Amino acid sequence: MTIDAIIARAPIIPVLTVETVEAAIPLARALVEGGLPVLEVTLRTKVALEVIAAMAQVPGAVVGAGTVLSPADLEASRKAGAVFGVSPGLTPELARAAEGYPFLPGAVTPSEIMAARDLGYGVLKFFPAEIYGGQSALAALAGPFGGMRFCPTGGVRESNLRTYLALPNVAVVGGTWLAGKSEMAAGDWAAITARARRAVAIARGEEEA
Ligand SMILES: O=C(O)C(=O)C[C@H](O)[C@H](O)COP(=O)(O)O
């Protein structure tokens, strides 16, 4: 699978920071059921690699690792079963390690975008989106970087996801709002499925935010 094929599967990538392995399977199932099969599990908890391994068994789930900061992170998450990687940025070492693997690196400034483009990347994470100028920054970047597409993440919510997705250079959006800490702790999977469904409906313009 290419990164293009992966992001084409859903308009939104839930960014998941999961504290317990027990939550992995019900959480992945809840999101797949809600219409969001592409999952980014941040490498920010001790159990993240185990969570990736568990989620990778859920039918329909396309599980990737987030917070990939080094070749070692990439290697470990691949071994755990991640089929793609996401990074808030990009380094030459990371680009080398990710060769031939579906990878979504981050870039926000023109020089960072040019460096990623030179390395062959056509889709980039735009993080933290709201802080780096949000929709107006993305609209401005479409001028010089017409061919590049972005995944804004950081401050994306129900209220603004539709306007982000309406931008021609936005391929998909990411965010943590789909699965809150308290819901995960309480095991309220139905609430997470409902929120995912609602996000998909908003993305399609079938529901108001
Ligand atoms: O861990 C990473 O690699 C990240 O890039 C961070 C996440 O994408 C943001 O934390 C999303 O934040 P929200 O604004 O809560 O949606």
Ligand 1 mean position to 153 CA, how many Å?
6
| Planar angle of CA 109, 128, 197, nearest 5 degrees | 130
Q: pLDDT exceeding 70 applies to what percent of the chain?
A: 100
175 Cα–ligand 1 center, Å: 6
Which tokens go with 73?
């992170």
Is 193 near ligand 1, meaning CB less than 6 Å away?
no
- Report which DSSP code applies to 139: H
* Residue nearest atom 5 in ligand 1 by C-alpha distance: 88
The number of the ligand 1 atom at minimal distance from the alpha carbon of 154 is 14
The confidence score (pLDDT) of residue 47 equals 98
Q: CB of 127 closer than 6 A to ligand 1?
A: yes
CA of 80 to the centre of ligand 1 (A): 21
- Between CA 192 and CA 171 the distance in angstroms is 23
Token pair 């690196």 is found at 105
183 vs 185: CA distance, rounded Å: 5
Alpha-carbon distance of 60 to 37, in angstroms, equals: 6
CA-closest candidate to residue 9, choices 38, 30, 29: 38
Residue 11 near ligand 1, beta carbon < 6 Å: no
If you count them, how many residues does the chain have? 209
Distances (CA, A) of 199 to 129, 145, 159: 18, 28, 10
Confidence (pLDDT) at 190: 97
Ligand 1 touching residue 153 (CB < 6 A): yes
Q: What is the mean pLDDT of residues 80-107?
A: 98
Q: pLDDT confidence of 149, banded at 50, 70, 90?
A: very high
Q: What is the mean pLDDT of the chain?
A: 97
Tell me how far apart the alpha carbons of residues 110 and 143 are, in angstroms, rounded to a whole number. Answer: 11
